[in-house]
Amino acid sequence: MAQTVFAPWTEADQKPLIEFRNVTKRFGEFTAIDDLSLKIYEKEFFALLGPSGCGKTTMMRMLAGFETVTEGNILLAEQDINDVPPNKRPVNMMFQSYALFPHLSIWENIAFGLRREGRDKAFIDTRVEEMLRLTRLTRFAKRKPHQISGGQRQRVALARSLAKAPKLLLLDEPLGALDRKLREETQFELMDIQEKTGTTFVIVTHDQEEAMTVASRIAVMDEGRLVQVDTPGQIYEAPNSVYVADFIGDVNLFPGKARARPEDTQIAAAAPDQPVSDQPVPDQAAADQTATAPMAEPAPSPTATPPEGPTVARLPAPDAKGDWLYDKIFRRFLGDRTTAPRRLPPPNAEELAAPKPEPAATAQPAEPAIKPGGIFIDWAEGQPPIIAAGGDPAMDGREVTYSIRPEKVTIDTVRPDRPNVYEGKVIDIAYLGNISTYHVELAGGRMVKAQMVNARRLANRPITWEDTVWVGFTETAGVVLEE
């Protein structure tokens, strides 16, 4: 995977392209950036992520030169650029409002920076053509900005800021003005262009999905400080604080008290054959995710119910005569018959009336033995403690928060055999089409979110409102956080 190959931040001898050295920025009494140090490497797609007012835009404007640094230094390719004015920095910016010059055509907009450099006409012509081609705007070169759509304007802004081939491109909420569908397309386009040009991109965004999609590394900011700087995977699976866990994606948080767990538990002893994984927590958690995925919605296993159900029997398939007919006549003009999957017909009345397939215990794959060690978390009176194998036993006796993503929590109508299982009642179901999020209220009132992939169609789903269900998760699925 390219992601694992490209990781200059792990190599000690790599020289950063950008370095913030103890940078502080104050606006009067207000401290926007507080003693912040950060290194950004060449060819990175670096995202500054945070809620509005966290200082991410100030960081970007300091890089562009529109804001001065109150204390500390910003280095670009090991040169202090504190006193370099914006028009002398090898840095270009794509503005949130795009800031296209309304009195100039698309072509002139893109050529603007090159003309200021005093380049000769032939060079400008080729470069602008190249940029127009890169952003698929050649047809619109003669138009004015108000004559093209929002998505096209966004691409003009990108082409204009890339035209001078800057060492560093700053993108200020570049996709904020686009609708969802176009935004997703443009994210991939941005990554593609970033790869093609090899430019270092720094993107400012408050949209965590956008940051996760495009960035090689994300810096999560809060109140002028960096909370965590890491790859999207690490940020999501191994957040270093409740703030990050809560800010990125959806999460269940269980505040509680840690209690050291014996290294050699009875359960672990019961299945000594099971190899104990010593992988770090996030990878284990990721593995768990894939392991639990098929369980997300228990399918009737072949041993429990023979495949007489609607799926296979109702698939239209030719018999011997049909095959013969096809071979003799239709093959000539239609070619070989493909056995492509066909669309499922809607369930008929009979199928709807049929008893729902029981998500029986047979659906459960053999549960591996619970990994020993880690901690228990006592999070509520009268509830069994959460087993967190990834917890540090040294946390014993301290206040901690157990954080687990909804997609790692399973939901069943019968008690599953999992390390952490709690009974509750379905209060709400958020149906998003591809997935559903179930809000389950546990005894004692705590709400837990569990997510399931909707692998099957609506009529066959066994869980509805007010049902008594069991939520469960493995001992390694969550992260123990200390605040």
Partner 1 sequence: MRRAILIAIPYLWLTALFLVPFLIVLKISLSDIALARPPYTPQFDFSAGLEGLGAFFSELDFENFVFLTTDDLYWKSYLSSVQIAGLSTLITLAVGYPVAYAMARADEAWRPTLLMLVILPFWTSFLIRVYSWMGILASEGPLNAVLLALGIIDQPLQIMNTNVAVYIGIVYTYLPFMILPIYSALEKLDGSLLEAAEDLGCSRLSAFWLVTWPLSRPGIIAGCFLVFIPALGEFVIPSLLGGSDTLMIGKVLWEEFFNNRDWPVASAVAVILLAILIIPIVLFQRNEQKAREAEG
| Closest distance of CB 26 from partner 1, Å | 20
Residue 112 or 243: which CB sits closer to partner 1?
A: 112
Question: Which two tokens mark 217?
Answer: 């590394």
- Does residue 123 touch partner 1 according to CB under 8 A? no
| Closest distance of CB 174 from partner 1, Å | 13
Of the candidate residues 15, 116, 136, 331, the single one contacting partner 1 (CB under 8 A)? 116
Residue 96 or 234: which CB sits closer to partner 1?
A: 96
> Pick from 197, 158, 208, 271: which is nearest to 56 by CA?
208
Question: Which two tokens mark 405?
Answer: 């993503």
Q: Is there a contact between 409 and 448 (Cβ–Cβ < 8 Å)? A: yes
- Does residue 117 touch partner 1 according to CB under 8 A? yes
| Closest distance of CB 52 from partner 1, Å | 17
| Closest distance of CB 384 from partner 1, Å | 57
For 63, 145, 152, the CA distances from 137, given in Å and listed in that order, are 29, 12, 7
User: CA torsion, points 126, 128, 133, 139, in degrees to nearest 10?
Assistant: -110
| Span interacting with partner 1, options 37-45, 95-103, 280-288, 416-424, rule CB under 8 A | 95-103
318 phi, psi to nearest 5 deg: -70, 150
| Closest distance of CB 89 from partner 1, Å | 8
| Closest distance of CB 16 from partner 1, Å | 22
Please name every residue paired with 23 in a beta bridge, in sequence order, or none if there are none: 36
For 76, 169, 194, 211, 283, the CA distances from 218, given in Å and listed in that order, are 19, 16, 16, 7, 19
Question: Which two tokens mark 302?
Answer: 């072949």
Residue 113 or 282: which CB sits closer to partner 1?
A: 113
Q: Is there a contact between 239 and 46 (Cβ–Cβ < 8 Å)? A: no
Of the candidate residues 4, 12, 102, 382, the single one contacting partner 1 (CB under 8 A)? 102
CA distance 163 to 166: 8
- Does residue 153 touch partner 1 according to CB under 8 A? no
Residue 97 or 301: which CB sits closer to partner 1?
A: 97
Please name every residue paired with 204 in a beta bridge, in sequence order, or none if there are none: 48, 172
- Does residue 103 touch partner 1 according to CB under 8 A? yes
Residue 103 or 332: which CB sits closer to partner 1?
A: 103
Of the candidate residues 58, 92, 135, 205, the single one contacting partner 1 (CB under 8 A)? 92
What is the phi-psi region of residue 193: left when phi exceeds 0, alpha when psi lies from -120 to 50, beta otherwise?
A: alpha
Of the candidate residues 27, 101, 123, 465, the single one contacting partner 1 (CB under 8 A)? 101
CA distance 135 to 95: 17
| Closest distance of CB 159 from partner 1, Å | 12
- Does residue 28 touch partner 1 according to CB under 8 A? no
Residue 7 or 84: which CB sits closer to partner 1?
A: 84
- Does residue 160 touch partner 1 according to CB under 8 A? yes
- Does residue 434 touch partner 1 according to CB under 8 A? no
Tell me, rounded to whole angstroms, the distance of Cα 400 from its chain centroid: 25
Residues in the interface with partner 1 (CB under 8 A) total: 24
Q: Is there a contact between 91 and 79 (Cβ–Cβ < 8 Å)? A: no
Residue 62 or 480: which CB sits closer to partner 1?
A: 62
Of the candidate residues 8, 50, 55, 113, the single one contacting partner 1 (CB under 8 A)? 113
- Does residue 335 touch partner 1 according to CB under 8 A? no
CA distance 253 to 401: 6
CA distance 221 to 226: 5
- Does residue 176 touch partner 1 according to CB under 8 A? no
> Pick from 8, 18, 165, 12: which is nearest to 78 by CA?
18
- Does residue 465 touch partner 1 according to CB under 8 A? no
| Span interacting with partner 1, options 100-108, 278-286, 335-343, 458-466, rule CB under 8 A | 100-108
Question: Which two tokens mark 414?
Answer: 């019968």
Residues 6+ apart with CB under 8 A from 283: none
| Closest distance of CB 91 from partner 1, Å | 8
Q: Sketch the per residue contact string, 48 through 77, with partner 1: x for CB under 8 A, - otherwise.
A: ----------------x-x-----------
Render 308-357 in DSSP notation, one character per residue. TSHHHHTS----HHHHHHIIIIIHHHH-SPP-PPPPPPPP-HHHHHSPPP
SS3 206: coil
> Pick from 184, 240, 235: which is nearest to 213 by CA?
184
| Closest distance of CB 87 from partner 1, Å | 5
Unique residue bearing structure tokens 């952003």: 135
Of the candidate residues 53, 72, 86, 393, the single one contacting partner 1 (CB under 8 A)? 86
Of the candidate residues 11, 79, 85, 366, the single one contacting partner 1 (CB under 8 A)? 85
The residues of the shown chain that bind partner 1, judged by CB under 8 A, are 64, 66, 85-87, 91-93, 95-97, 99, 101-103, 112-113, 116-117, 144, 146, 160-161, 164
